[in-house]
């Protein structure tokens, strides 16, 4: 299969909003791929590399050679090239990696180069999410989607599942089973704006648990040996000896636990998220960490909320209430996620407000009858968090990619700084989340009306347009001049009824960060 075919499918998927059309286009590509190529094609069209990381960033992509006029590169050749690039290390590795990247790009057409740039930079946003790709694999292999979803859950890998489905159908998928030591994709939670709304989706009693701002962890225990995996299935066992020691003392022969790790203050309140993340990221090069890896001596506390396997028995298909009962039999209360089972909205709301008052993110409302459905967001688990908002000013906006090509999409957000003369603006980060097609169309026209200047990628505007932004928290960040950034920022609405002088100040934002640090 040629790289050009994959690039064309990517373009086609990005240009349509219809889910069924996306699925059919992806399925067609998988039918054209061999069983050996299918895992690679699935990874690429999901916006990932088979190798995960190969050490190529924007700096390596800026000076690409001219494209070739005729497509010749195969999927296998490009994947092998990525492997070679990722294996380069030692003295002179940067130059060697740059030469290999240049050689690959020199053999690619303009359309293939465009695809490769987006793939390698993590900008391949085309709507081929796991759910869509799972349906495409099922259609291409002519197998039930439920078989594919379960195999993905147990294998932890959609590309590997695709290769099995296309090579051996349902019989091959049935061979995937839960293995202690091999991580499975975690179950996810949908969202609700309130406790009442969440409870309305669950008949009768509901389990309400704290939602911590920590690190999701999957712990595999076998005869005293412990392995720890993140929600992205990365093995971080070696970085957390205190967690390994604590779990190794549990009275189990073998088990798979789901839980959360968090750094706590002496009073039991959570520390800032960066403190937890930095501890788990110690001994990892800062370039590979999601945030600066500043080690801390604060140990991480373990809070477990589910068990998927226990002493030879798979528990995935049991209802949540039975899994939690099994968990409580082998885990001490100090290691269990605090939990309330109730059908009373008042009791559930009081539990929610207490969790927030203790410095936690909110709660997860769970149906006691739901099985463990890895990788899926449904009514079985529902997260509820208080919503924070700020009125910020748009400083600039970047042109979109994929389906958003031709629209101004990624907003640069700024807070007002009245301490300067004249008052200035402090950038807090970027977001393209929460924008409907109508808002994209409107802001593309409106922001060009207040344009100050532009370059190839970005339109810089006069700081006059206020936008209401929802976010999950404020974190310390050396990336921006204010030293803080918003977590999971998304657009609520534009506030043309407000002037830029009424926008929130950087002092307000920093106070939120201080509150987060003092409260956890």
**How does strand 225-230 pair with strand 215-222?**
antiparallel
* CA dihedral over 330, 332, 338, 344, signed as positive or negative: positive
Tokens for 435, please give them.
Answer: 């924008």
Helices (H), 338-479: 345-357, 437-449
Distance CA 30, CA 306 (A): 35
Helices (H), 182-291: 195-200, 241-248, 273-280
Distance CA 377, CA 374 (A): 9
Distance CA 118, CA 192 (A): 33
Distance CA 316, CA 322 (A): 10
Q: Which helix (H) or strand (E) holds 324?
A: helix 320-330
Terminal Cα distance for the chain, rounded: 51
Distance CA 167, CA 159 (A): 12
Q: Which of 35, 31, 234 is nearest to 136 (CA)?
A: 31
So which residues are the catalytic ones?
211
Q: Which helix (H) or strand (E) holds 85?
A: helix 75-87
Q: Which helix (H) or strand (E) holds 507?
A: helix 506-519
Distance CA 200, CA 500 (A): 40
Per-residue DSSP letter, 335: G
DSSP 138-202: HHHHT--HHHHHHHHHHHS-HHHHHHHHHHHHHHHHTT----TTS--PPBEEEE-SSHHHHHHTS
């Amino acid at each position: 299969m040629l790289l050009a075919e994959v690039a064309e499918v990517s373009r086609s998927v990005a240009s349509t909003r219809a889910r069924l059309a996306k699925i059919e286009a992806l399925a067609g590509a998988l039918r054209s791929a061999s069983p050996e190529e299918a895992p690679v094609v699935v990874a690429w069209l999901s916006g990932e590399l088979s190798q995960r990381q190969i050490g190529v960033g924007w700096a390596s992509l800026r000076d690409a050679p001219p494209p070739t006029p005729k497509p010749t590169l195969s999927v296998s050749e490009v994947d092998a090239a990525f492997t070679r690039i990722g294996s380069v290390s030692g003295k002179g590795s940067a130059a060697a990696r740059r030469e290999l990247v240049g050689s690959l790009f020199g053999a690619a057409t303009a359309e293939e180069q465009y695809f490769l740039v987006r793939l390698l930079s993590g900008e391949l946003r085309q709507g081929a999410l796991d759910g869509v790709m799972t349906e495409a694999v099922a259609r291409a292999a002519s197998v039930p989607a439920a078989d594919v979803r379960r195999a993905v859950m147990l294998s932890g890998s959609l590309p590997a599942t695709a290769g099995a489905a296309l090579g051996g159908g349902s019989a091959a998928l049935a061979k995937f089973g839960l293995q202690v030591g091999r991580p499975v994709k975690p179950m996810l939670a949908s969202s609700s704006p309130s406790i009442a709304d969440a409870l309305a989706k669950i008949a009768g009693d509901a389990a309400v648990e704290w939602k911590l701002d920590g690190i999701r962890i999957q712990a595999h225990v076998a005869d005293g040996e412990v392995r720890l995996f993140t929600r992205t299935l990365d093995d971080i066992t070696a970085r957390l000896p205190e967690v390994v020691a604590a779990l190794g003392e549990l009275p189990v022969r073998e088990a798979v636990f789901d839980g959360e790790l968090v750094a706590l203050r002496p009073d039991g309140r959570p520390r800032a998220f960066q403190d937890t993340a930095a501890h788990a990221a110690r001994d990892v090069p800062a370039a590979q960490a999601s945030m600066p890896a500043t080690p801390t001596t604060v140990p991480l506390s373990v809070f477990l909320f589910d068990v998927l396997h226990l002493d030879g028995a798979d528990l995935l298909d049991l209802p949540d209430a039975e899994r939690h009962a099994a968990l409580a039999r082998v885990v001490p209360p100090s290691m269990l996620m605090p939990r309330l089972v109730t059908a009373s909205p008042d009791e559930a709301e009081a539990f929610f407000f207490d969790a927030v008052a203790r410095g936690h993110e909110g709660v997860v409302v769970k149906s006691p009858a739901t099985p463990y459905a890895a990788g899926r967001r449904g009514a079985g688990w529902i997260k509820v968090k208080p919503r924070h908002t700020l009125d910020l000013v748009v400083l600039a906006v970047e042109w979109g990619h994929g389906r958003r090509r031709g629209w101004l999409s990624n907003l640069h957000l700024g807070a007002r700084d009245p301490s300067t003369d004249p008052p200035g603006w402090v950038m807090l980060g970027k977001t393209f989340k929460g924008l409907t097609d109508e808002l994209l169309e409107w802001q593309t026209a409106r922001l060009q009306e207040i344009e100050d200047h532009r370059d190839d990628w970005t339109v810089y505007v006069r700081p006059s347009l206020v936008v209401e932004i929802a976010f999950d928290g404020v974190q310390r960040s050396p990336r921006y001049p204010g030293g803080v950034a918003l977590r999971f920022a998304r657009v609520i609405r534009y506030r043309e009824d407000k002037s830029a002088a009424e926008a929130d100040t950087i002092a307000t934002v920093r106070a939120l960060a201080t509150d987060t640090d003092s409260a956890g």
